[in-house]
Amino acid sequence: MALYSEKVMDHFRNPRNVGVIENADGVGQVGNAKCGDIMKMYLKIENDIIVDVKFETFGCGSAIASSSMATEMIKGKPVAEAMRLTNRAVAEALDGLPDYKMHCSVLAEEAIKSALDDYYAKHPEKKEGA
Ligand code: FES
């Protein structure tokens, strides 16, 4: 069996939503101290919907594929739904990642949460239950 699924290879070779959003409503950056990989996520939010999302990753192929898939999964979705996105869901959408590469998908989940935290910090009134 191949180490990486076709979906992983596809998103690694043709990552979706790579880039920067100027004047993003939320920006988050996270890193993994062990491998040194870094991921930065930009969100454009209108009426509680993620209307645009872009990412930059200085990281491994699985991190690139995970962030690409994660951006596709939250684009056009309500903020509250994006907040609930788990790395497992991202890995499943990629038809799996090798066990020792699961932490790469964690980076995608954390980058999105960090960008959403930034958004909520700027718009405390939007926070659920506030
Ligand atoms: Fe570090 Fe994949 S090896 S994110």
Q: What is the pLDDT of residue 62?
A: 97
Q: Which of 32, 34, 30, 36 is nearest to 112 (CA)?
A: 30
101: tokens are 């590469």
Over its C-alpha atoms, the chain yields an Rg (Å, rounded) of 14
Best substitution site from 3, 29, 35, 94 to test ligand 1's pocket, by max atoms within 8 Å of Cβ?
35
What per-residue confidence (pLDDT) applies to 37? 96
**Residues within a 6 A CB radius of ligand 1:** 32, 35, 37, 59-60, 62-63, 104, 107
Structure tokens at 122: 């700027």
pLDDT of residue 1: 53
Determine contact, residues 43/116, Cβ cutoff 8 Å.
yes
Write phi, then psi, for 98 (nearest 5 degrees): -60, 150
pLDDT the model gives residue 126:
83
Task: Output the pLDDT for position 127.
Answer: 77
Predicted pLDDT of residue 124: 86
Burial of 113 (0-12, 13-18, 19+ CB in 10 A): middle
Q: Please tell me the pTM assigned to this model.
A: 0.94
- What architecture is the 6-120 domain classified under in CATH? Alpha-Beta Complex (3.90)
pLDDT score, position 129:
59
C-alpha closest to that of 8 among 114, 97, 89: 97
Print pLDDT tens along the chain (130 aa).
Answer: 578 999 999 999 999 999 999 999 999 999 999 999 999 999 999 999 999 999 999 999 999 999 999 999 999 999 999 999 999 999 999 999 999 999 999 999 999 999 999 999 998 888 765 5
Residue numbers annotated as active site: 35, 104
The residue count of the chain comes to 130
Q: Name the closest-CA residue to atom 4, ligand 1.
A: 104
